Structure 1
Amino acid sequence: MQRPNYPSGKDLLGADSVSRDDLDDIFARAERFLAEEDEEDSPGDQPARLHLIRRRPKVIATLFDQRSTRTRLGFQAAALRLGHQSLDVYDTDRSRMGSATGETLDDHIRTVEAYSDLIVVRSHTESLPYQIGRLSYLPVVNAGNGADEHPTQALIDLFAIRKLRGDVKDLSIALSSDTRARFALSFVKMLRLSPPRRFTLCSLPDVPINPPMREAIALLASLGCKVSFVHDVRDTLEHDVLIIQMQDMSRFAHASLGSEAIDKEIETEPFTLTAKKILDAKSDTLILNPLPRFAELDVSCDALPNAGYFRQVKLSLPVRMAILERMLLGIPWTG
């Protein structure tokens, strides 16, 4: 029996869920968590979040049927920092969901509802977060679904840019990536909330731009952002920010947990970023990467002062804390 649809805005499923007011709220909460962390690191200061100890902890259910390092650990760490607990509710070796002796998705989610307060979903299929959002009265976070979207990564990327380089609207932003990559689509779609003065896409010359990405870029142009297209990463190194990942993500977008080993192929030379290219260009471009990196970002870049991708990981924690706090309070997304 089909369960009823629940109020609009309870779930974070894509970049379109987020309005400018939502973005400002997430940034304000993340800034508060960063400030509290600084206070706790100061000698002699009392813990800044004692009030969290006095309330009943919530349970964050993580349902991941796709490999993850930063997203899984990030949400689990965010839950713990907020004084909550996390619970893995899908295990490929032990879960009955979808197995020959198992249960339906509907029954599995009804069970998860009994044990938890919020569900974070990561899947190799595009449909799963949307299915769970319709089935469950709990708030649902899309933590990456196949080749569709990754809205929490987009929020992290925008916050990292804000902290490391300034207000996005004052900057030139470049993206070097497969236009089918889910993080890339969510990022460009979310740029509509604060359009940069210039946006450049670096992509393979003979591969058509993914239609949803083309639509998102057209919207940026309509908002007054100067848009351009290049086919060599060197042409992005005069920008304020470069977000880079490999140019062919098709083999990885649908990689399901435990089914294949990922071979880090050699990226074609025009799309491989090295320290030599950055130094030859005398570039101070902030380099970000959602990670894991493949051959598009050489380890020689790691020692450069403009390598921001590991700081980006650290800044992901207050953003995920802000997302969880907001959604556990029942504040709807208004995009």
Structure 2
Amino acid sequence: MTTNSTRNNASLAAIQDKARETRSLLPPNIIDMHELSAPAIRAVFELADSLRSLPPDQAVQLQPGRVVSTLFYQPSTRTRLNFDAAAQRLGASVVGFCDPATTRAGDFYQESLEDVVRFTSELVDLVVLRHHETGAALRAASCSSVPVISAGDGYGQHPTQALGDIWTMCGILGELRNRRIGMVGDVNIRSLKAISIGLSTLNVGELVYLLPKGAVFPEVVVRTLDEKRIPFRFVEHIDEMLSSVDLVETIGVNHPNHNSARDTRMRSTNVCVDDGSWYRIDAAAAQRHHGHMPPVLHPGPRTDELSVDFDTHPGAHYFEQARCGMWVRMALIAALLNT
């Protein structure tokens, strides 16, 4: 007779096998969405599905005794807490900092990123880095003795945000191949850039963009979409977007300088200063598109592009999105620690 303990062990063993298989498909570090193949992305999603179905008391048996370091040189709420929760749900411990001012990197010594990462990687099994300098994740990976996951660097990419958001899209829409995904905001921002690249890898049907006034569409995304033969187009108003897509991801148009260590309010001179109606999603927009209001995602934090009066609408999926991000980060951590 099969006991519950035997079934639980079999389940854990199957997930460990899946984690090892996923690891074989992943690059050494998670930094650039271009390095993730379609099979690798799907394997991460399948592992996230398996982890989500696992009872918490079993999940913590997957990585006991392992240590994950979160080095956050730039402010974060959702991403940092996502990684902390993901690691601890797997049974791993978390060490690190959320403000470099509390370390030798931010005081008199101004310790270099390379030294911080090199020393830290001798103490832990995985390094998660968020940094304001574009390219910092690659620098960290070059001197780390353990895998590095980028939690966003400057105007580079934010791969784990992209993977979590795309997995959320799959959960809402199913197959993405014939789907039209809308994105509101500056695609130079690391999250939308990484999402665009990831969706192109999965052969999404079409990408539709609503950019800030005067924004320049990044050449790296143009090249990627052209190479993957992904149709894309631009609209000029949120109503045009909402009436023509299957799902919308918005981050809005007002952002701090992502190459700064601290978030300070700024408004680009390229952004049209008006009432914001051309990009805002709110209850009024939902009412205008009653009968065809697509699901809405937002990685946070929000400003005036997404009204709180939309939070109770059935199409509001951004709180669910945050939890999905945790499961995907659990999958990545579980895979990378299976070495």
Give the TM-score band, short-chain normalised.
0.7 to 0.9
Per the TM alignment, residue 291 of structure 1 is displaced from its structure 2 partner at its CA by: 0.7
User: Residue in 2 aligned with 1:230?
Assistant: 235
Among candidates 309, 318, 325, match of residue 316 of structure 1 = 325
Runs of 4+ in 1 over 6 A off after TM superposition: none
Per the TM alignment, residue 266 of structure 1 is displaced from its structure 2 partner at its CA by: 7.6
Per the TM alignment, residue 56 of structure 1 is displaced from its structure 2 partner at its CA by: 4.2
Residue 183 of structure 2 aligns to a residue in which SS?
A: strand
Query: Given residue 53 of structure 2, which amino acid in structure 1 is its aligned partner?
Result: A
Per the TM alignment, residue 262 of structure 1 is displaced from its structure 2 partner at its CA by: 7.1
Which of 10-19 and 71-80 deviates more? 10-19
TM-score, length-normalised on structure 2? 0.84
How many residues get paired?
A: 308
Per the TM alignment, residue 158 of structure 1 is displaced from its structure 2 partner at its CA by: 0.8
- Residues 98 and 105, structure 1, Cα contact 8 Å, conserved in 2: no
User: Residue in 2 aligned with 1:125?
Assistant: 133
User: Residue in 1 aligned with 2:158?
Assistant: 150
Superposed CA RMSD in Å reads 2.3
Per the TM alignment, residue 94 of structure 1 is displaced from its structure 2 partner at its CA by: 2.6
**Are 2:335 and 1:326 equivalent residues in the alignment?**
yes
- Residues 76 and 86, structure 1, Cα contact 8 Å, conserved in 2: yes
Cα distance in 2, alignment partners of residues 255 and 173 from structure 1: 30
- From the superposition, tell whether residues 50 and 204 of structure 1 become closer, same or farther in structure 2 (CA, over 3 Å): closer
Cα distance in 2, alignment partners of residues 169 and 180 from structure 1: 24
- Residues 67 and 124, structure 2, Cα contact 8 Å, conserved in 1: yes
- From the superposition, tell whether residues 56 and 315 of structure 1 become closer, same or farther in structure 2 (CA, over 3 Å): closer
Per the TM alignment, residue 192 of structure 1 is displaced from its structure 2 partner at its CA by: 2.0
**Are 2:240 and 1:240 equivalent residues in the alignment?**
no
Cα distance in 1, alignment partners of residues 213 and 98 from structure 2: 40
Per the TM alignment, residue 170 of structure 1 is displaced from its structure 2 partner at its CA by: 3.1
Residue 150 of structure 2 aligns to a residue in which SS?
A: strand
TM-score, length-normalised on structure 1? 0.85
Per the TM alignment, residue 181 of structure 1 is displaced from its structure 2 partner at its CA by: 0.9
Cα distance in 2, alignment partners of residues 50 and 291 from structure 1: 28
Unaligned runs of 5+ in 2: 1-25, 268-272
User: Residue in 1 aligned with 2:86?
Assistant: 78
- From the superposition, tell whether residues 71 and 50 of structure 1 become closer, same or farther in structure 2 (CA, over 3 Å): closer
Cα distance in 2, alignment partners of residues 107 and 327 from structure 1: 22
Residue 319 of structure 1 aligns to a residue in which SS?
A: helix
User: Residue in 2 aligned with 1:5?
Assistant: none
Structure number with higher relative contact order (C-alpha < 8 Å, ≥ 6 residues apart): 1
Which of 305-314 and 85-94 deviates more? 85-94
Residue 58 of structure 2 aligns to a residue in which SS?
A: coil
- Residues 160 and 325, structure 2, Cα contact 8 Å, conserved in 1: no
Listed as ranges, the matches of 1:5-44 within 5 Å are: 9-37=27-55
User: Residue in 2 aligned with 1:253?
Assistant: 258
- Residues 161 and 167, structure 1, Cα contact 8 Å, conserved in 2: no
User: Residue in 2 aligned with 1:191?
Assistant: 199
Unaligned runs of 5+ in 1: 1-7, 41-46, 331-335
Q: Percent identity?
A: 24
User: Residue in 1 aligned with 2:58?
Assistant: 48
